[in-house]
A = this chain, B = another copy of it.
Amino acid sequence: MSAPANAVASSAATSEPYQAPAGLADVSVASTTVSDVLGRLGFYHYRGYNAVDIARRGRFEDAWHLMLRGELPTTEQRDAFTGETSALRQLPPGVGELLPSIARLSGPGSLESVRTAVSLAAQAIGCKPWTDQSQDLTRAQAEQISAILPTLTAQLYRLATGQEVVQPRADLGYAANYLYMITGEEPGERSTYAVERYLMLTIDHGFNNSTFTSRVIASSGADLGAVISGAIGALSGPFHGGAPARVFDMLDAIGSPDNAEPWLRHAIEHGEKLMGFGHRIYKTIDPRSQLLHEVAQELHSERVGFAEHVEKTAVALLAELKPGRELYANVEFYAGVVLEAAGLPREMFSATFACSRVVGWMANVLEQVRDNRIFRPLARYVGPEAPREFPAFWQPGQA
């Protein structure tokens, strides 16, 4: 059966669908109570609470509780939640013994390894399509996945660098335990404080690419293992979670304070994108970079002074050479400085980002499943007019 020759014309004659801008820029695809970013104001929040204030004053578990259980915890609730999630850090049976083989296939800190490992861990946890289980069970699995992701990333890093894995300790906080599993040493207060601020600041940030991926996958009814491996995959893209380490590559390339002005001027004049500057949403100072800058200063790292000099120079040059573009340091600029000064190896920056953003992904998915419709958009066909005549050279013929 062939379609009528006027197939495309007939279709075009019916009501036209909305043609969204590339990348769904400026298109609102859902309603949410999880978080919001008010870019022009340099303000973002978690469930209405200023995210920077939570990060400044709270514990990671406060934000985690807020995101997955809907409210900030009382002191008793925080203690209970911390106890429950600490107990979930151990890997489920059937996972640990495969990590050496997974780690061997990609480099230290690779999100590719994390993607495979967390997919496996979700199988081991027994995640099933959320349509086939209670919402309470799905939330419990969301908490478990958030709790084991740092264990997976830390153990994969240790294995990929030829070290023995370090088992999680339930008596340490989320951030301290993470540092401990990577370095093998109990971290100092300052390092723990710094990493915890970073983690709290990066839990959620609107419908970024990996968060949107989480929602799209969950909308099919798939299990949380499908969601988390898809989200980790999205985060591994250089346009998304791959940038923090690249800021460092830039700082290395600049090398010395004297070289900042000529190096940056040359880069901007030659159309190169500066790593760690500019944001699709913030047209003012990124509120995350501001707190991270303060945290960096408290760490008294040698890099901080140099990074500050590069930032000031870059912002001034951008204002001069790209007037009106309003380009400022984004979250990635000071993130690397903070994480390195706290003792995290550079290869682990993206994987560390995954360990906080996982809470945002899970919060979004728990919201998605409560009022779900499968994401199934349209595309505009712009190829040769259909139906095409088959070319004479194509000689079908069965096997």
Contacts and interface: CB of A to CB of B under 8 A. Distances in A.
A241 B221 CA distance: 10
A29 B20 contact: yes
Interface string A237-275: 111111000000000000000000000000000000000
Given A3-B50, A94-B104, A386-B36, A24 B222 contact: no
B40 A11 contact: yes
B104 A112 contact: no
Contacts of A127: 112
A43 interface: yes
Interface string A92-113: 0010011001101110001011
A220 to B, nearest CB: 3
Interface string A31-62: 11111101011110101111011000111001
A323 interface: no
A116 B120 contact: yes
A29 B394 contact: no
Contacts of A385: 48
Contact of A233 (B229, B374, B396): B229
Nearest to A23: B373
A27 B230 CA distance: 23
A388 interface: yes
Given A75-B395, A221-B242, A212 B375 contact: yes
